[in-house]
Amino acid sequence: MILIISKVFALLFATIVISKGVVDYKNKNESLTMTVFWIATWLAITTVAFFPSIVDSAIALAGGSRTGLGTVLGIAIIFVLFISYRIYAKANRIEKQVNQLAKILALKDIKERK
Amino acid sequence: MASKNIHLAIVIPVYNEGRVIKEVIDTIPKKIKGVNRISVIAVNDGSVDNSAEQIKKTGACLISLPFNLGIGLATSTGMEAGKILGADILVTMDGDGQHDPRDIPKLIAPILLDSYDLAIGARLINRNDMPQVKKFGNWLMDAITYIFSGIWIKDSQSGMKALSKKALNAIEIKTSGYELCSEIIILAKKEKLKITEVPIKTIYSTHSMKKGQSPLNGLNIALKLLYKKIGG
């Protein structure tokens, strides 16, 4: 059941991210490198979701013995949470800086007049 | 008030209010008992209509933000301008015409009497005219504000407020969106400022009904306040 859900979600998110990526690239809001990077990443995620044995084989090939989808999903969730946190923190910091800058510019005239 | 020469600054954040902003500013009383000077500060928050031209016609002090940054940032910019201009009392009111500027004298009365530092214009006089969905949204935000501040305010989301000089200097707004209303109350409580509510009238026009925040925004505001509490 978990496997089916993860397949559905991976396919759904991959479709959304890839289509949005292509639209952003067409509208010149995203570079070709980043578009290709996200498409490749999501294609890889979808492939793993549909064929989890690939990960087992890869880990075994690298010399690992303890394999399984649970481990992979756990690592993936931690990675996603970390990335989300970093993006949110960075966006928040940039927002504060932009706001501060906008405020300084807007108040420049009134300060000079004073 | 200790100072005899009272300067009142009225801050109006404006975003695409070209249809009504001139009338809103023109309705502001020219003289108020106990006040010697009145300055109107209109903060144009990146409007894409003719708001700026309409404000210029009124002679109000126009401050322009380079693009739309949110009502919170527009208001805090106006508050900063009030400080620069040396305001003794600062009133904030919405630019969509939902507040009656004739309520300003009674809103600032508790501050003029030195009794309070923050007076919130509670939209209670014609509360029955308020749509049910807005009533529920406001109640939800009152509850969220209570969780973060510890005080129950009957209309925490009212954009019409009056601040004393002490409050103006003590309150430093960090948020940029609609969470501003809750943040002012949270900071006022933290700074141990005296808070009161003054019943005011609300004007529900077709234009003002289109404005304001959605009740669904409550969750977003709660998350932002939580993030601010954790992150400082």
Nearest CA-CA partner of A11 in A43, A36, A53? A43
pLDDT band of B62, cuts 50, 70, 90: very high
Quick one: CA torsion of A17, A22, A25, A27, rounded to 10 degrees? -110
Q: Is residue B55 part of a domain?
A: yes
Give tens-digit pLDDT for B137-178. 888 889 989 999 999 999 999 999 999 999 999 999 988 888
- Average pLDDT score over residue span B173-196: 93
Q: Is residue B60 part of a domain?
A: yes
Q: With an 8 Å Cβ cutoff, is A112 touching chain B?
A: no
Q: With an 8 Å Cβ cutoff, is B81 touching chain A?
A: yes
Q: Give percent of chain B with pLDDT exceeding 90.
A: 71
- Predicted confidence at residue B64, as pLDDT, reads 96
Helix pair B132-149, B180-190: axis angle to 10 deg = 30
Question: Which residue on chain A is closest to B175 by alpha carbon?
Answer: A96
- Predicted confidence at residue A23, as pLDDT, reads 85
pLDDT band of B24, cuts 50, 70, 90: very high
Give contacts of A 73-92 with B, CB under 8 A. Answer: 92
Q: Is residue B103 part of a domain?
A: yes
Q: With an 8 Å Cβ cutoff, is A15 touching chain B?
A: no
* B231 vs A contacts (CB less than 8 Å): 92
Q: Is residue B89 part of a domain?
A: yes
Q: Is residue B81 part of a domain?
A: yes
Q: Considering all CA atoms of chain A, what is the largest pairwise distance in Å, rounded to the nearest integer?
A: 73
Question: Which residue on chain A is closest to B228 by alpha carbon?
Answer: A92
What residues does B198 pair with on adjacent strands? Answer: B121
Q: With an 8 Å Cβ cutoff, is B47 touching chain A?
A: no
- Predicted confidence at residue B103, as pLDDT, reads 95
Q: What mean pLDDT is reported for chain B? A: 90
Structural domain count of chain B: 1
Q: With an 8 Å Cβ cutoff, is B80 touching chain A?
A: yes
CATH number at residue B24: 3.90.550.10
* A107 vs B contacts (CB less than 8 Å): 63, 77, 80-81, 84
Give tens-digit pLDDT for A17-35. 888 888 888 877 778 888 8
Q: Distance of CA B129 to CAs A24, B115, B116, B124, B201, Å? A: 45, 31, 29, 10, 10
Q: With an 8 Å Cβ cutoff, is B187 touching chain A?
A: no
Q: Is residue B1 part of a domain?
A: no
Asked whether residue A92 carries a pLDDT value surpassing 90, the answer given is: no
Q: Is residue B2 part of a domain?
A: no
Domain containing B103 equals: 7-231
Query: Which member of B65, B81, B174 has the closest CB to residue A102?
Result: B65
Cβ within 8 Å, pair B77-A98? no
Are the C-beta atoms of residues B148 and B182 closer than 8 Å to each other? Answer: yes
- Predicted confidence at residue B230, as pLDDT, reads 62
- Predicted confidence at residue B190, as pLDDT, reads 94
